[in-house]
């Protein structure tokens, strides 16, 4: 069964604005990861946050994790046209398996 | 110097045929995966191999048979193709740190399979 669910399913903003995407999951996790998928391409790993971490930064990306609410958010600051892509959260529950959500389709308008 | 490569990129075939997709990684990873992404972008794991040994088989029909000749290659053979097999298939690889946890995965560009 699907573990992560992203919200919103689609997001359209103006270049320069911040974009926030949320992910909820159902069971306990070891870590949570965010990936980006450009149209027609494979997924690219963005950031990993462990279950004992609450926040992590990487460049213009900020990820938070609230294990009590079983939720995570990805914030992209100062968005650029090149950030247009689908963003997926994936949870690791052991067994070397990632379970992906259905993604948020982000469109940055110039 | 592509990290994870897949061939072919596109595959159009008729129902009932048998086809194979090949995957190679040059990252020195121990673990390789096959995922299926459907038309709604839902990405679901199918198989995982660690050092040529099958470790995950996610209730995939036995028409799908993965083969790992060595830890750098993981091929997917599909028998008796059906319309519902149409999807994008991704290969991925990662390190195995022996903790049972999943770390950063590197994905190939995908193979778009269309069954007519």
The pLDDT score that the predictor gives to residue B52 is 82
- A15, A78, B109 from A81: Cα distances, Å: 6, 10, 21
The string of pLDDT tens digits covering residues A57-85 is: 999 999 999 999 999 999 999 999 999 99
The string of pLDDT tens digits covering residues A17-58 is: 999 999 999 988 989 999 999 999 999 999 999 999 999 999
| Cα dihedral: A9, B86, B103, A69 (round 10) | 30
CB contact (8 A) between residue B43 and residue A43: yes
Q: Considering CB atoms only, which of A30, A35, A42 is closest to B101?
A: A30
The mean pLDDT of chain A is 92
Phi–psi pair at B32, nearest 5 degrees:
-130, 155
With a cut of 70, say whether residue B84 has pLDDT above it. yes
For chains A and B, what is the number of CB pairs under 8 angstroms?
69
Q: How far is A94 from chain B (nearest CA, A)?
A: 5
Q: Considering CB atoms only, which of A45, A96, A99 is closest to B55?
A: A96
The pLDDT score that the predictor gives to residue B58 is 85
| A2 Cβ under 8 Å from any chain B Cβ | yes
Q: Considering CB atoms only, which of B42, B50, B100 is closest to A94?
A: B100
- CA A51, A70, A74, B111 dihedral sign is positive
- Which H helix or E strand runs over A96? none
- CA A19, B108, B48, B53 dihedral sign is negative
| B97 Cβ under 8 Å from any chain A Cβ | no
The mean pLDDT of chain B is 92
| A31 Cβ under 8 Å from any chain B Cβ | yes
With a cut of 60, say whether residue A2 has pLDDT above it. no
């Amino acid at each position: 069964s699907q573990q992560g669910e992203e919200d919103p399913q689609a997001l359209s903003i103006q270049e320069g604005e911040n974009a926030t995407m949320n992910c909820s999951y159902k069971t306990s996790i070891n870590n949570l990861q965010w990936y980006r998928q450009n149209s027609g391409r494979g997924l690219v790993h963005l950031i990993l946050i462990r279950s004992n971490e609450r926040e992590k930064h990487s460049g213009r990306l900020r990820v938070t994790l609230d294990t009590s609410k079983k939720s995570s958010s990805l914030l992209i600051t100062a968005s650029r046209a090149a950030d247009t892509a689908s963003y997926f959260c994936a949870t690791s529950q052991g067994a070397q398996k990632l379970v992906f959500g259905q993604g948020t389709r982000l469109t940055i308008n110039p | 110097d592509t990290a994870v490569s897949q061939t072919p990129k596109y595959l159009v075939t008729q129902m009932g045929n048998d086809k194979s997709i090949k995957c190679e990684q040059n990252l020195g990873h121990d673990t390789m995966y096959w995922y299926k992404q459907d038309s709604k972008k839902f990405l679901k794991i199918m198989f995982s191999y660690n050092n040529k040994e099958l470790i995950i088989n996610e209730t995939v029909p036995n028409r799908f048979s993965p083969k790992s000749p060595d830890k750098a290659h993981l091929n997917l053979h599909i028998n008796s193709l059906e319309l519902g097999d149409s999807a994008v298939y991704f290969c991925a690889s990662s390190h195995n740190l022996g903790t049972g946890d999943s770390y950063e995965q590197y994905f190939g560009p995908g193979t778009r399979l269309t069954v007519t």
